[in-house]
Chains A and B, each alone.
Chain A
Amino acid sequence: MSREERDMRAGDYVLGLMDEADRARAERDLTIDPEFRDAVWSFSQRLEALDRSAAPEPVAGDLWSRVAAQIADVTQQTRLELVQSDMAAAGAPLTPPDRHGALGLKRPMSGFFRGARGTALAATMLAACALGYVIGQASVTARDPEVVVVLLNEEDVPGALVEAYADDRVRILPLTDFEVPAGKVLEVWTLYDADVGPVSLGTMDAAREAVLSGPDLPAPRPDQLYEITLEDAPRSAAGRPLGPILVKGFAVSPPR
């Protein structure tokens, strides 16, 4: 999607000029496409000034109790569930993982996912589907990535998607807004050889979609570890991760 097209869709969404189908698609993209999300919220926060001239209306005394009664039995959805349902609605349904793992993936370091195996597997499938979908929309690359990785935070919530290419490029798609305080950067690492240790792929100063050129490394392989840490700008002085790990995950080969 071009920037102009994205801005036009964001405009139509914020102005309320979409038909039902386009609006549903826009709401899915709000969940999975950070650039569209930015375009929508920056525009809607500006137009909000027009709402200020509407004098607040009195609120019926029982309105809150009506809301409270309705939410008494409503379970809140988790971020992952919301993303999954949006992905399913986008035509890339996710098979619920069974306890054996729906994809039959080998996970030599599955201890990392202990207690969250289902979530991790669901997230892995989510990564493959979400990237396919986003690439399909954006057409940013003609070549398929060697591996895709979903990076999870310590609660096993997907925080970023990574595609790693044979020519050392790495594309990062944040799924959440990482807090990056002044003077800090997000640094992306991979561990392709335990003897070499973690290697920096590059840094980002904000949680935005980015393509890093990456150093010359062997082609990325399934089960290779990727992680993002918070480091002092301009990058970790030690050449290895010093700051807290925000998210990490293991690579899988995308379905062809």
Chain B
Amino acid sequence: MDDCDTLMRRVAGGDRAALATIFDLEAGRLIAIAKRIVRRRELAEEVVQEAFVTIWHKAALFDHERGAARAWMTTIVRHRALNILRDGSRLDFHDADQLAALGDRAAEAESAYADLPETEDLKRCLGLLEPQRRRSIVMAYVVGFSHGEIAAHLGAPVGTVKAWIRRGVSALKECLS
């Protein structure tokens, strides 16, 4: 069992010091994850601040997710970051600057995939997917692209992107199991 899981059980029991310890261990990592999605550092900090308040409030739920305290926290952070992203002004796909910005973000997602160690099952299994499926999944996860943004970046209809992701997720789960 991870340190984080032990600490999270203490948080569920009302231990604020345990939450502070988790914050010291994880905040830098979580800000980095949020920043990949919201881009701006101050927004990423705001995401992590709100996420820790949620973690405190709902820690009793954690006992359900045995062995997954970090994944649970990451999920809270990612969804909070996506909320901020989607609340913002909608992307205009005809705007050349916006398309260029999509390109930068897509490149960051690709490098997160490229940086996976070869020994990692996830690297092997993602590598077995057709490239468009793999890119769609990685862009959604790493930088928080919506179906529409993936479609704009890859120049494909939204329905096609949804099908790529469905089939990709299915094959990925099969490979990882």
Interface status of B20 (Cβ within 8 A of chain A): yes
Question: Of residues 12 to 39 in B, which have CB atoms within 8 Å of A's CB atoms?
Answer: 12, 14, 16, 19-20, 23-24, 27-29, 31-33, 35-36
Select from chain A the residue with minimum beta-carbon distance to B146: A17
Select from chain B the residue with minimum beta-carbon distance to A78: B60
A16 B70 Cβ-Cβ under 8 A: no
Tell me the smallest distance from the CB of B18 to a CB of chain A, in Å: 12
Report the interface size for chain B: residues with CB under 8 A from the other chain. Answer: 65
Chain A contacts to B: CB under 8 angstroms: 4, 7-8, 11-12, 14-17, 23, 30-31, 37, 40-41, 43-51, 53-60, 63-64, 66-68, 70-71, 74, 76-79, 82, 176-177
Tell me the smallest distance from the CB of A26 to a CB of chain B, in Å: 10
Tell me the smallest distance from the CB of A240 to a CB of chain B, in Å: 30
Interface status of B112 (Cβ within 8 A of chain A): yes
Chain B contacts to A: CB under 8 angstroms: 12, 14, 16, 19-20, 23-24, 27-29, 31-33, 35-36, 41, 44-45, 48-49, 52-53, 56-61, 63-68, 70-72, 74-75, 78-79, 82, 111-113, 115-116, 120-123, 137-138, 140-142, 144, 146-147, 165-166, 169-170, 173, 176
Given contacts A14-B75, A15-B165, A51-B29, 13 further A-B contacts (CB under 8 A): A8-B169, A41-B68, A50-B112, A50-B141, A51-B32, A53-B111, A54-B32, A57-B28, A60-B45, A67-B49, A79-B60, A82-B61, A176-B64
